[in-house]
Amino acid sequence: MKHISPIQVAAETPARPPTRRALAKQQTRQKVLAAARRLFSEQGYEGATIRDIAAAAGMSTGAVFANFTDKSDLFREIMVDDMKALHAAMCDAATRGRNIEESLLKIFVAGYTFYKTRLQLARAAFSVSWDKDGGPPLRNLSAATALNDLFAEQLSAAVERGELSQEADVKLRSQMLFDTYLSNFPQAIFEGWSLDALQTRARDQIRILLAGARRG
């Protein structure tokens, strides 16, 4: 039997450091993602080609395709990163509301704040989401449905607290709240509404949508 050095043992444990090759691959991915994010923001989903993205990242289109199957794959990866960060921000915001109306409002505002610096990327995402082919894979991402679920979780918790009635149609109401949250983006993107203006509008919308579920 051969002597096994401690180094070899360490190399076989699951937590071994990534190889140089894996690290290089990871760096390539990050470079492509950063370039793609910039181009999607500047030129929209349709306008940004894989060739342009590769050039902006300083690599060949072959190197891009070695990491991502196609443009939609690349785009979804960026969306997943953002939606996870957004979800965390929204969850955090929700805990700071003293009642359901405030929590929902803080969730809305967390979303608008998050996208304030990336409105053009949001615009590209909306454009893809309404496409019959590109829409479903984007809308069905677990990171996307988690955002929708967050609204349902908030409403269910409010029902448990006795703040909303047992008959509050949580599924429909949370879906409508999420849709309403999304429907305000055109004002933010094209009309340049301030966060204050969006918040005022959102508060009224939330009140109308909650009215039928109030107890009493």
Contact residues for other proteins, defined by CB under 8 A = 43-47, 120, 123-124, 126-136, 139-140, 169, 172-173, 176, 179-180, 182-183, 186, 189, 201, 204-205, 207-212
Considering beta carbons, is residue 47 or 58 the nearer one to other proteins?
A: 47
CA–CA separation, 122 vs 4, rounded Å?
A: 54
Q: How near is the Cβ of 34 to other proteins at its closest, in Å?
A: 20
Amino acid at 150: L
Considering beta carbons, is residue 22 or 172 the nearer one to other proteins?
A: 172
Closest CA to 64 of 32, 86, 38, 41: 32
Q: How near is the Cβ of 119 to other proteins at its closest, in Å?
A: 11
Q: How near is the Cβ of 11 to other proteins at its closest, in Å?
A: 47
Q: How near is the Cβ of 20 to other proteins at its closest, in Å?
A: 40
CA–CA separation, 23 vs 19, rounded Å?
A: 6
Considering beta carbons, is residue 67 or 177 the nearer one to other proteins?
A: 177
DSSP secondary structure, 73-134, as one string: HHHHHHHHHHHHHHHHHHHHHHTT-SSHHHHHHHHHHHHHHHHHTTHHHHHHHHHHHTSTTT
Considering beta carbons, is residue 57 or 125 the nearer one to other proteins?
A: 125
